[in-house]
Amino acid sequence: MNIGFIGLGAMGLPMTRHIVEAGHRVTVTSRSRVPIDVAVAAGCVPNAVTDEMFMELRKHWSDDQVVEIVGVIAMFGFLNRWNDTFATPLEDEPLHFGEKHLAAIGWSAEKHLR
C-alpha cells in the first residue's frame, strides 16, 4: 500500500517511520523545504550541508529528530551507493517508475536490468 503523508514534524516523522516499518510505502510532503535541501546537499561530493541548513532544521525539530532525519538521509544514500555498486536488479515497480518519471532527465536502468 502507498500512503500519502503531509508533514514530518514532531508527530509526523515517528508516525511515518512506523508506517514504513509496517511494510508500506509512504509519499511525504513537508511544510519546510529544508529536509529536502539537506538530502540533496548530503548527496553531493563533497558534502554541501551547511550550518545554516542545520539551524533551519532546528527551527522545526529537536536535536534528536534532526539526528534521525540525517540518519535516514545517510542510510538511503548508503543503500543507493550499495545497490549501484553491485548493480542490484531493479524490481518491476521501481523500474517502471524510473522509466516513466526519470528517463526524461537522463536516468537509465542500464546495469540494473535483470
The residue count of the chain comes to 114
Placement of cell 541548513 in the chain: 53
* DSSP 8-state symbol, 99: I
What's the rounded Cα separation, in Å, for the pair 63 and 112?
Answer: 37
CA proximity to 35, closest of 3, 72, 78, 82: 72
Model confidence pTM above 0.85: no
Q: At what angle do helices 63-85 and 34-42 cross, to 10 degrees?
A: 40
Domain edges within the chain: 1-31, 32-112
Residue 64 has pLDDT above 90, yes or no: yes
Residue 47 has pLDDT above 70, yes or no: yes
